[in-house]
Amino acid sequence: MAHGHVEDVLSDHTESGDGLRRCRAHKVVVLFDELFLGRPIDRDWLRSMTPWSARAFSNGRRGSRRPVEVPDEAWPAVVRLAGEEREIAWPARWDLAPGTVVARADLHRIFGGGKSTGIAASDDTPNILFFKDVVRGASADEGGHEWSDDGAFLVRGMEENGETLTFHNESVVKHVRRGKPLRVFQNSPRGACTYLGEFAIDQANPVERWIDTGRERVIKPRLMPSLPYTRYQRMAPVFRLFPLDALSSLPSVAPSRKRIPQQRLLISVSLVPGPTSTDAVPPNRDDSRSSGREEDSTADVRASIANLLALLRDHDNAADTVAQLDAAAVLSDVLERRLRWGGLTELRRLIDDPNTREAALHRVLQRHTWMFGGQYVGSATRRALSLRDQIDIPLIRSDGTLHGVELKTASVDELVKVHRSHLIVGPKVNEAVGQAMNYLRGLDEQRDAILNNFRVDCRRTTMTVVIGHPRYVKGEITAADVAETIRTYNSHLARIQVMTYKDLLDGAERSLHLSGDATTKP
């Protein structure tokens, strides 16, 4: 959820009565360099990352506090994995984009948390929901917000008895060490709220100041009524928050002042000497004359392309002149077909690897939506059209309606199985179809809101589920058996179609062969 470095090591030594010096557990002060609380790395991702992680994360139950030793050579892989685009599973997944207006009742119905408080710690998902009221032109003392000189977003918290943080305000201050993202919303009239984005508390100085609300709370003693009443002055903290993924249209935002807060956390560890990292040996290079000639030829081609692009950029009528040439159409067709063959080859390579995950397949198919057919004119700019649901590839038909694509892994061993002397689809297929059904139901229920907000018509949306490949099916089940079983399964579905990656590859390759000469195949 975060990575950083050790800033200081503290040791607590005590002298006992017998003259022995006892040493307790060490304390280290961790300085966080980067936070990704909203995009945590899943345990399965860590297990499949390197041979080291497969051994380290294969033992121990989920949620165990047993420390895991990370070798020096494994840290670059961890940092790289943190920044990769990957699918976040529920409940850690967050589909609301900054600026989205939602009903607060729907928000609590899905993410949980108290409905009547300004700060709601979600029990169903790892999120802290922070709601602020609309007080335009007011400072944080008056219920609005302001920006400090160092770029901190100052916003008022809930009232307390004196200057003591309790449950709700404490959940904001400790959201980093608890591993929960802080989601800030702005209340709007008629029960709606606007999502402002993800923020992080300043761990070094979480509270800018305390505000005297001018009110008191009087508590009467229950057991001894004769004792005097206890009076508390009602105070409210002003939190220092730093935007991590905030709405760009927030007033008074100074982009040059936005920074990741210096977040320090004191944790207990056992100091174990780590392995010594070895220097990487650079790969051998072939310095033959043939490779030199190929590099020179590639350099000449790149220089020619750069000159052509510069000509098109600097002269307004150059593009029209080039487009009138007969060779321009040939060049455009060759480049487009080469790009499509390259995408098809890359997808085939990923499918051949049984360890390929959905995110890698998604990145390729997001760039090559032509593989799903010519009836689609492009993809929607947003994947999260409905609350909580996120379609892998939302395609737009020529009439403006939506068609969703749900991607699963290709290595499904029980894609089709034998049941009472007949073949039926496996549980993974039924699970994926059930997920697509839930997506369709959510789109139907929020059709009017999606049409008004995103100009996408979701009436009677259809879905395609791409899952599995016959090569990974166990037993004596052939590719023809898999195709016939899935075709029979599809005949009983109305708005959902199931296809394998073999069907997708065969259809895409067939369309390339039919569209022209196959000599452009790489």
Phi, psi of 290 (to 5 degrees): -65, -45
Domain residue limits, the chain: 2-83, 101-263, 288-324, 336-520
**Tens-of-pLDDT digits for all 522 residues of the chain?**
777 777 777 776 666 666 666 666 667 777 777 787 888 877 777 766 666 666 666 655 555 666 677 777 777 777 777 777 767 777 888 878 888 888 888 888 888 888 778 898 887 788 999 998 766 556 666 766 778 888 888 888 888 888 888 888 898 988 888 888 999 998 877 778 888 889 988 877 889 888 888 888 777 777 777 777 777 888 889 999 988 876 654 544 433 333 444 444 444 443 333 333 333 333 444 455 555 556 666 677 777 777 777 766 666 666 667 666 666 666 777 777 788 888 889 999 999 988 888 888 888 888 888 888 766 655 665 555 665 567 878 888 877 788 889 999 999 989 999 998 899 999 999 999 999 999 898 888 888 877 776 777 788 889 999 999 999 998 889 999 999 999 999 999 999 999 999 999 998 888 887 765 444 455
Helices (H), ranges, 84-135: 104-111
192-201 and 101-103 strand pairing: antiparallel
pLDDT at residue 252, as a whole number:
42
- Which residue from 172, 174, 198 is spatially nearest to 184, judged by alpha carbons? 198
pLDDT at residue 62, as a whole number:
57
Q: Do domains 101-263 and 336-520 have the same CATH topology?
A: no
Stated as kind and residue range, the H or E segment containing 458 is strand 457-466
Tokens found for residue 463: 């879905």
Burial of 12 (0-12, 13-18, 19+ CB in 10 A): exposed
Which of helix, strand or coil describes residue 470? helix
pLDDT at residue 498, as a whole number:
95
**pTM of structure:** 0.50
* Residue 459: other Cβ atoms inside 10 A: 12
Can you point out the beta strands (E) in 358-448? 376-379, 393-397, 401-407, 416-419, 422-425
Phi-psi domain of 400 (left: phi exceeds 0; alpha: psi -120 through 50; beta: other): left
pLDDT at residue 60, as a whole number:
55
pLDDT at residue 103, as a whole number:
85
CA distance 234 to 242: 26
Task: Tell me which of 2.40.10, 3.90.550, 2.30.280, 1.25.40 is the CATH number of domain 101-263.
Answer: 2.30.280
Q: Which CATH architecture has domain 336-520?
A: 3-Layer(aba) Sandwich (3.40)
230-246 and 192-201 strand pairing: antiparallel
Phi, psi of 245 (to 5 degrees): -145, 65
pLDDT at residue 495, as a whole number:
92
